[in-house]
Amino acid sequence: MRFHKKAAAWARELKHIFRGASLNIIHREPPAHYLGYTVAGKVPVILIPGIFSRWGYMKHLGDAISLRGHPVYIIPELHNNLFSVPSSAKILRSLITHIVPMSGHIVSRTSRSAETIRKFIQEKGLKDVIIVAHSKGGLIGKYFLVHHNADRRVLGMIAVATPFSGSALAKLIPHGAFKELMTDSKVIHDLKTHKEVNKNIVSIFPEYDTQIWAERGSFLDGAENIEIPVAGHTVLFDKKIHDAVINAIDKMTSAVNSVRYNT
């Protein structure tokens, strides 16, 4: 990509960072339609934002998914997503096993025993969840698929602009939360060694990412990799990204339904 186009991408990036930060402040509670409007056959979707971001950063994408009839869940316990990847994955696991379908609430971890919650979830039949994640959220999602998905309640993940190989940029940021994003971090190494779950991941990424400084960018071996002709890292406001994510959700859902129908 030519220099002037990269410069334009950085300009848009700054605008989108400000826009996303504003959404984080404005939107404290998810819209009623996230759990109030569902269509038969549409699977639950969980949104996982990137570092320094709350769910509001992904609201435009979440709205597009919700209006297709998917129940959309958020994870307020992640706050600004500064927890470690393993800790965040545990919080995600807790959400999936504590979630109350169609109510919009999350049952307290201390209010019921694990056995009661497990029975409740089984009775409600919450399963076939798809994770939609941005940036660091994709690392959390993959860590979950590797270490916390033995019962396969999660079908797979669609990751947008995720640094699966880390980013050299992380070394330049003096904040401990970015250490896991370094190319040689323990978490990055751990996730690289677990390729068996990659077949359940769709990695969507821009042709030029302003923040993922790595030779392979967001490319993930064994996953479905989709490059979109956009530039930047905070690309969640782009309709091309929305369309790619929704198409990936439909494809992942139809593949599971096909298997069930044929068996």
- DSSP secondary structure of 193-239: H--TTGGGEEEEEEEE-SS--STTTT--TTSEEEEEEEESS--TT-H
Is the model's pLDDT at 220 over the cut of 80? Answer: yes
Higher pLDDT, 37 or 151: 37
Residue type, position 160, single letter:
V
pLDDT for 258 equals: 63
pLDDT for 259 equals: 55
Contact 90, 78 (CB under 8 A): no
Least confident of 9-23, 131-145, 190-204: 9-23
pLDDT for 75 equals: 78
Confidence band, pLDDT 50/70/90 cuts, at residue 156: very high
Is the model's pLDDT at 96 over the cut of 80? Answer: no
Helix, strand, or coil (residue 178):
helix
pLDDT in tens, 52-91: 888 888 999 999 999 999 999 887 777 677 778 887 888 7
| Of the ranges 103-107, 123-127, 146-150, 153-157, the best mean pLDDT one | 153-157
Neighbours of 198 (CB within 10 A): 20
Domain-by-domain residue ranges, the chain?
3-262
Is the model's pLDDT at 113 over the cut of 60? Answer: no
Higher pLDDT, 263 or 50: 50
Rg of the chain over all Cα atoms, to the nearest angstrom = 18
Is the model's pLDDT at 241 over the cut of 90? Answer: yes
pLDDT for 164 equals: 96
Is the domain spanning 3-262 CATH 3.40.50.1820? The answer is yes
pLDDT in tens, 117-142: 334 334 445 578 899 999 998 998 89
Q: CA angle 162-166-169, nearest 5°?
A: 100
pLDDT for 129 equals: 87
Strands 72-73 and 45-48, bridge-based pairing? parallel
Least confident of 84-93, 180-189, 200-209, 225-234: 84-93
H-run or E-run covering 160: strand 154-160
